[in-house]
Chains A and B, each alone.
Chain A
Amino acid sequence: EDQVTQSPEALRLQEGESSSLNCSYTVSGLRGLFWYRQDPGKGPEFLFTLYSAGEEKEKERLKATLTKKESFLHITAPKPEDSATYLCAVQARGAGSYQLTFGKGTKLSVIP
């Protein structure tokens, strides 16, 4: 059974204080690992897809990396508008319908 564990559950940062969010996963053959951002009362917003170990992707202050067992979402010099819940999900190779298995998320709060 595919499993995704995210840590920490919650993270409070001062504006400008860089940090990383962790996503550990177990999957029977990884097709893709996904990062989403979710604001309260909204649907998840797609951020990144990572396909293989060693891959990195960047978008503004966010950088996602992938190893064979985990992924990190690095946040550089965060701003209050980066406050949200960040979700990690995996998709198994051979999942014909392309289903996602989500972690519980990390709630990030950036304090001005």
Chain B
Amino acid sequence: GAVVSQHPSWVICKSGTSVKIECRSLDFQATTMFWYRQFPKQSLMLMATSNEGSKATYEQGVEKDKFLINHASLTLSTLTVTSAHPEDSSFYICSARVLGEGVEQYFGPGTRLTVT
């Protein structure tokens, strides 16, 4: 149980284009979903927290106009990187908390974004 998927698993895009990453909870409904980014040999840094039907809450230093988050249902959240630049290249990971249960977050497999 508590399986989270992400799509795509990797993506290469050109500078200036936008990329959408999907995060789905496959066997549970998610109260809250979280988006992280991870640079090589570094730990996870929380970018934003999203609740279904509400606007996302962004961490300090994260540009909300650049990283658009939509949490349209209890099983789907999307992260859109707009006007991507090479410095946005990173490993993006989502996690989800099970509706009505516990405090754990279950993570997706991650999406490797490379901007050329």
Question: Taking beta carbons and an 8 Å cutoff, which residues of A are in contact with B?
Answer: 31-32, 34, 36, 41-46, 49, 87, 91, 97-100, 102-105
Question: Taking beta carbons and an 8 Å cutoff, which residues of B are in contact with A?
Answer: 2, 4, 6, 32, 34, 42-44, 46, 49, 51, 57, 91, 93, 95, 97, 102-110, 112
From known contacts A44-B44, A44-B93, A105-B43, infer whether A98 and B103 are also in contact, taking CB-CB under 8 Å. yes
Q: How far is the CA of A31 from the CA of B102 in the complex (A)?
A: 11
Contact (Cβ within 8 A) B34 A99 = yes
B110 contacts across to A, CB distance below 8 A: 41-43
Contact (Cβ within 8 A) A100 B42 = no
Q: How far is the CA of A12 from the CA of B49 in the complex (A)?
A: 36
From known contacts A87-B43, A102-B44, infer whether A43 and B104 are also in contact, taking CB-CB under 8 Å. no
Residue of A nearest to B103 (CB): A32
A42-B109, A43-B95 known; 12 new pairs, CB 8 Å cut-off, are A32-B103, A32-B104, A43-B108, A43-B110, A44-B107, A46-B104, A49-B102, A49-B104, A87-B44, A97-B51, A102-B44, A104-B43
